Structures are given as structure tokens and as C-alpha cells.
Amino acid sequence: MLSFLLRRLNLLLITAFILTIIAFAIDQSVRIDNDIMQTTEHSYFLQYLSYLMNIFSGDLGYSSIDGQPLLARGLVFFASTLELCFVALLYSSLVAIPLGLLAGLFRNSTLDYMIMTVALVGLALPVFWVGVMVVLLPSIWGELLPVDGNLSLIYEVPVVTGFLLVDTLFVTEQYGMFAFIDRIAHLILPALVLSFFLITEIIRLTRHSMTMVMRSNYIKAAYAKGFSRRQIVFKHALRNALPPIIPQLRLQLSTVLSFAMTVEIVFNLDGIGEWLLSSLKSGDYLVLPVGVLIITGFILFLSILIEIIMVIISPLRRGSLYVDK
């Protein structure tokens, strides 16, 4: 176990080192192309070391538009993006896991074909097109489900955590629960659009995992002992079919974040995608390396964290560490 943790730490450090080099190269290119880099005789190596020190100190420069620290602003906007992804994942799990389990239990049946057809249609629809269609049909949603912005303008919510669902709870004395409910209303349609892709992936992964579990020897032994199908599914199959989905979903992190940034632009949400686009349009090009560091750093850290957690909680994955010994 210790050797596994050391290998993952080594992977984290090496990948983070490569990411900082890429961010540094983008930063230098942006500064040179826009004549905002002071003349210096220091070598690129010394400049890179200075850039690393700035990363550790949290000083990645200031916006040329409003003078705000880029890293602090980027983290606030990224928190809004993560909030959107979390709500979309919640939608997707509630819908896709039961459908995937049914498709796996009744594989190659009419029900299986219907579920997979719906999943493939959802995968074929471009997320940005679905978002545009939702925005163009506001009369269907009325005033209950807004299609623009993070929060209604009548609410002034100070930034505490960056997660508006949490920050709105700090102003309950002023607005009651109305700000929190308004934030949920603004999230419903964007999260629903983002969940199209996630639903398809979760259905596919759940169906495959459930099929493999139902074909395993211990399930056949449970049938031989006379257990009912309901007992086998709920007591044995489910607990073994769901955990393998988690490490597979982490491979889709970058895709989900890129789709979330697209949805933010379509729905005019204050997330990191909208922040990057509006800043670049305004000529604030220093946001680009900051955005690269925030997004790639999060994906890297969360991917390795999920892998470590799965090794800790899964006996099969933990036992695979000693196969070669």
C-alpha cells in the first residue's frame, strides 16, 4: 500500500511539473505577444522558478480589466462550474443508474434495446445545440425556470465559499430561503442540459458492470442455493456492480468540465468558461494560463484522489496491488 501511494505521489508531482511548464509557456507567450512583459535578462529557467514561487504564494497576476487577483477570481468562478457539474451528476445518477441496472438485468431484451436507444440519442445530441434549443423556448418554462444568469438581480449574496448554493444560506436572515430557491431554479435547466452526456455514460457503464456481475460465479452459486432473483440483485449484485462505475467516470472529468463551460456560455452563467471567454474578448489574456492551471490541477488531483479512495474501500483493487508479488 505504501509503495502504491508513493507511486501515485510521484505521478502527481511529475504531472504537476509538466502542467506548470505548459502554463509558464502560455504565460510568457501571452506577455510577449501583448507587450506586457518587461525586458529582463534573466534566463527562462530563473523566470520559471519565479513563476513557481508565484504559484505557491497564490500570486498569478492581476486582471487588466478590474485589477482583481486572477487566481482568487478564477477559483470563485470555478466553484460555480463545479456546482453545476455536481447538480448535473445528481440528476444523471437518479435517472441513469436505475435505467442501467434494468438494461443489465434484462440484457438483449426489448427493454434493453429501448433504454440503449434513448441513451444513444442523448449521446448524439450536441450539448451546445440542446442548450440553445432550451434557451430559445422560454415560454415553455415560464418564470419558474430562468434561462439566464446564476441568480436574480434582486439578491445580493456576498462571496464566502464561491458555491452559491452554500453562500445563499448565509443570507437567510435577509432573504429567508428565497435566494437559495432562486439559485436552484437557475441551476435546473443548465444542469439538465449538461446531464444528457452523463446519463448516457452512466447507463452504459452501469449496464456493463451489472452484466459482468450477473455472469459471475458467486451469482450462479446464489441461484443454485435457491435465492430469489430479488435477493440476489439487492443483496449481492448491486453492491458489487456500482463501485466499479466510479473509477470509470473519473476518465470523463475533462469532458464533463468542457461541456459545463459550453453550457455556461449558452446560459450566461458566471462560471470559469464564461469568465475565460469574456476576459479574452476584453483583451485580458493573462487569464488563460490561470484557467489552465485551475482546471488541469483539479482534474489531476481529483483523479488520483479517487483512485486512492477506491483502493482503500475496494478489497479487489487493494488485492490487485499484490498480484505481481
Non-local (6+) Cβ contacts of 151 within 8 A are: 157, 164, 168, 179, 182, 183, 186
pLDDT of the residue at 83: 92
Q: What distance lies between CA 302 and its chain's CA centroid?
A: 10
| Residue of higher predicted confidence among 49 and 322 | 49
Q: What's the mean per-residue pLDDT of the chain? A: 82
> Which of 78, 42, 74 lies closest to 58 in space, CA to CA?
74
pLDDT digits (tens, 9 = 90+) for 240-297: 787 778 777 777 788 888 899 999 998 888 889 888 888 888 888 888 888 888 998 8
40 has a pLDDT exceeding 70: no
Q: Could you tell me the three cell numbers for 38?
A: 518587461
As a whole number, mean pLDDT of residues 85-89 equals 91
pLDDT of the residue at 105: 85
CA dihedral 104, 105, 111, 113 (to 10 degrees): 30
Structure confidence at residue 27 as a pLDDT band (50, 70, 90): confident
Q: Could you tell me the three cell numbers for 117?
A: 436507444
Rounded CA-CA distance 109/217 in Å is: 23
pLDDT of the residue at 79: 92
pLDDT digits (tens, 9 = 90+) for 104-141: 888 888 988 998 888 888 888 888 888 888 888 766 66
pLDDT of the residue at 6: 77
As a whole number, mean pLDDT of residues 61-90 equals 88
Question: How many CA atoms lie less than 13 Å away from 118 in the CB half-sphere?
Answer: 15
As a whole number, mean pLDDT of residues 46-73 equals 84
Q: What values do phi and psi take at 69, rounded to 5?
A: -60, 130
| Residue of higher predicted confidence among 89 and 40 | 89
pLDDT of the residue at 126: 86
Angle between helices 178-214 and 110-124 (to 10 degrees): 130
CB 198 within 8 A of CB 204: no
Whole-number CA gyration radius for the chain:
24
Place of cell 456492480: 241
Report CA torsion sign: 219, 225, 229, 232.
negative
321 has a pLDDT exceeding 60: no
pLDDT digits (tens, 9 = 90+) for 173-222: 888 888 898 889 889 889 999 988 888 888 888 888 888 888 888 888 88
Percent of the chain with pLDDT over 70: 90
Rounded CA-CA distance 289/48 in Å is: 13
As a whole number, mean pLDDT of residues 160-172 equals 87
Angle between helices 178-214 and 127-135 (to 10 degrees): 140
> Which of 172, 91, 189, 101 lies closest to 138 in space, CA to CA?
189
Q: What values do phi and psi take at 62, rounded to 5?
A: -125, 150
CB 269 within 8 A of CB 84: yes
Angle between helices 287-313 and 2-33 (to 10 degrees): 170
| Residue of higher predicted confidence among 1 and 35 | 1
As a whole number, mean pLDDT of residues 61-67 equals 80
pLDDT of the residue at 17: 86
pLDDT digits (tens, 9 = 90+) for 97-112: 899 888 888 888 898 8
As a whole number, mean pLDDT of residues 35-51 equals 68
Cβ count near 264 (within 10 Å): 26
Complete domains list, the chain, with CATH: 58-285 (1.10.3720.10)
Q: What value, to the nearest 5°, has the Cα angle with vertex 71 and ends 63 and 296?
A: 120
CB 294 within 8 A of CB 74: yes
> Which of 68, 76, 196 lies closest to 126 in space, CA to CA?
196
Model pTM score: 0.83
Euclidean distance between the first and final Cα of the chain, in Å? 12
